[in-house]
Amino acid sequence: MADIIVQAFQQAINLITSGNPEVYATVYRTIYVAGIGTLLSCLWSIPIAVVLGLYNFRGKWFIKGIFNAFIGIPTVALGLLIYLLLSRQGEFGYLHLLYTLNGIAIGQAILVTPIIVSFTANALGSADSQLRDLAKTLGASGFRTNLILIRETIWSMVLSVTAAFNRGFGELGIATIVGGNLLGETRVLTTAIAIEINFGAFDVAMAYALILMLIVIVLALTISLIERVRNEDVSWSKLVFWRGLGGN
Amino acid sequence: MSVNLQLVDLTKKYRDVKALKSVSLELQGNKIIVLLGVNGAGKTTLMRIMAGLEDSDSGQILFNNQNTEPKALRRVSTLVFQKTAMFTMNVYGNLAFGLKIRKVPREEIPKRVEEALQAVRLPEFEKRRAKRLSGGEQQRIALARAFLLDSHVLLLDEPTANLDPNSAIIIEKAIISKKSSQRVIVMATHNLNQARRMADEIVHIHNGEIVEIAKPADFFENPKSEITRKFINGELDF
Ligand SMILES: Nc1ncnc2c1ncn2[C@@H]1O[C@H](COP(=O)(O)OP(=O)(O)O)[C@@H](O)[C@H]1O
Ligand SMILES: [Mg+2]
């Protein structure tokens, strides 16, 4: 057991340092689909979240409930649905998005919508009502008041968008079903791991898994570091790296 | 001519709590009106309605003899909250916010902010993060922020509650210096001594009702209402 992990580690380092173009391409494709998917989703998710978070209307609790419910939607179920829509006989077959990276990106955009909507709407909704009153008593219009509340919760938004990216980055169902796991075309880290396991190449699978996790961890640490700088009045230039890690 | 604000039969209920029971009051410029009362008397509720942040259940507010809806009220009044709130900005950003909204010329803003900080004795605080300041400092920033707007109705909800006695005196002086015929100043407090020091007129509110309106001398020496007498003698629970 320990052997396999040590081997996998070496294999991972070999894979990363060997300059194998397919490895880099796979990493790039994974970042591309999750990145484009998340950005695309922001186009509609953030406005929906703003409406849900800052305005009151009848039936709002129900819509929020629906978005909450879909946060954990199984990716295979959504993948299947999108497959049917994008397949040649489907409504959107003419777009020829099946088995393409952009097809996966669109699927992931839909997948992460409930994450961005729910987290962002909650953050906006719980923005201190004192701040709303403050903006108003200082003369701000309703629109200006909303802008300031959005500004106050911008960091929560960054975190929800990051969570959305991570969800897309690590999902398998949509990438497999909509992307088809075509070598050199639509293979991403998760589908690469799945297929290497099928081949019995556990060490390669493990290597891909390590790369996947490494990227997720680096992203999370970067966000934490930015948060530290934001919260603590530490300027970037003064932020010695060990200090950032050491918590001192 | 001095500005005036008239409250006519204002009522406000929160579920089954009657926070205000038919409050009527006439307020004029060039005076400090102290709204005095124990905790829970209804001071904050009344201030929020005067600020246009909340609507009353019934009754009306007249500003310069014109019936004024909450939205219009917000254009002439500014409230300094009992619980201080700061935007996640530096002090300068917090002070400049209202000026930018009022379309004060850009090049004038830094000077006005600087003066406002002088007035509350926090010079050179522009770059400090507002939320990192002490409670007392934040309260002074909140006052400076309201002073800057030169509103016709200045509402101060227990503005010195978190301040040490020295800072409180500074703030009291700053508030008094804001007296003008073009400004109605209302300050809520539960502090009898402060009311005595500052008020041109004391309005005693208890259980959502005004029980006494009097000049400080009369209020303390010759109260008409039994409740006020008890309050002055410290026989009402806070
Ligand atoms: N938002 C609210 N919801 C329910 N009850 C409230 C609310 N605001 C005030 N009250 C109640 O109304 C009464 C008056 O409160 P308030 O105006 O804050 O008094 P004061 O400022 O004089 O201490 C209190 O009994 C308080 O509990
Ligand atoms: Mg109060």
Domain of residue A163: give its range: 2-212
Find chain A residues with C-beta within 8 A of B132's C-beta: 233
State the Cα–Cα distance between residues A178 and B202, nearest whole angstrom. Answer: 74
Could you tell me if residue A84 is inside a domain? yes
* SS3 labels along chain B: CCCEEEEEEEEEEECCEEEEEEEEEEEECCEEEEEECCCCCCHHHHHHHHCCCCCCCEEEEEECCEECCHHHHHHHEEEECCCCCCCCCEHHHHHHHHHHHCCCCHHHHHHHHHHHHHHCCCCCCCCCEHHHCCHHHHHHHHHHHHHCCCCCEEEEECCCCCCCHHHHHHHHHHHHCCCECCEEEEEEECCHHHHHHHCCEEEEEECCEEEEEECHHHHHHCCCCHHHHHHHCCCCCC
Q: Are A133 and B81 in contact (CB under 8 A)?
A: yes
Could you tell me if residue A223 is inside a domain? no
Give how far A243 is from chain B: nearest CA, Å.
22
If you measure CA to CA, which chain B residue comes closest to A137?
B78
Residue nearest to atom 27 of ligand 1 (CA): B40
Neighbours of B16 (CB within 10 A): 5
- What residues have CB less than 8 Å from B16, skipping those under 6 apart? none
Could you tell me if residue A229 is inside a domain? no
pLDDT tens, position by position, for chain A (248 residues)? 678 778 778 887 888 788 889 999 999 999 999 999 999 999 999 999 999 999 999 999 999 999 999 999 999 999 999 999 999 999 999 999 999 999 999 999 999 999 999 999 999 998 888 999 999 999 999 999 999 999 999 999 999 999 999 999 999 999 999 999 999 999 999 999 999 999 998 888 988 999 999 999 999 999 999 988 887 756 666 555 545 454 44
Write down the pLDDT at residue A238: 58
Which of B76, B110, B58 has the alpha carbon at shortest distance from B182? B76
Element (H, E) at A154: helix A154-169
Contact call for A137 and B75, based on CB within 8 A: no
| pTM for the model | 0.86
Contact call for B77 and A144, based on CB within 8 A: no
Give domain B4-232's CATH superfamily. Answer: P-loop containing nucleotide triphosphate hydrolases (3.40.50.300)
Number of domains in chain A: 1
Write down the pLDDT at residue A248: 42
Contact call for A138 and B101, based on CB within 8 A: yes
Write down the pLDDT at residue A8: 75
* SS3 labels along A174-186: HHHHHHCCCCCCC
pLDDT bucket at B238, cuts 50 / 70 / 90: low
Binding-site residues, ligand 1, Cβ < 6 A = B 14, 17, 19, 37, 39-45
Contact call for A152 and B75, based on CB within 8 A: no
**B63 to B4, B47, B220, B232: CA distances (angstroms):** 6, 15, 30, 32
Which of A37, A163, A49, A187 has the alpha carbon at shortest distance from A110? A37
- Placement of tokens 């099928």 in the chain: A198
Average pLDDT over residues B78-95: 96
Could you tell me if residue A133 is inside a domain? yes
What is the CATH classification number for the domain harbouring A122?
A: 1.10.3720.10
Give how far A127 is from chain B: nearest CA, Å.
11
Could you tell me if residue A241 is inside a domain? no
Could you tell me if residue A188 is inside a domain? yes
The residue that leads in pLDDT, B67 or B170, is: B67
pLDDT bucket at B146, cuts 50 / 70 / 90: very high
Q: Could you state, in order of their start, the residue ranges of all structural domains in chain B?
A: 4-232
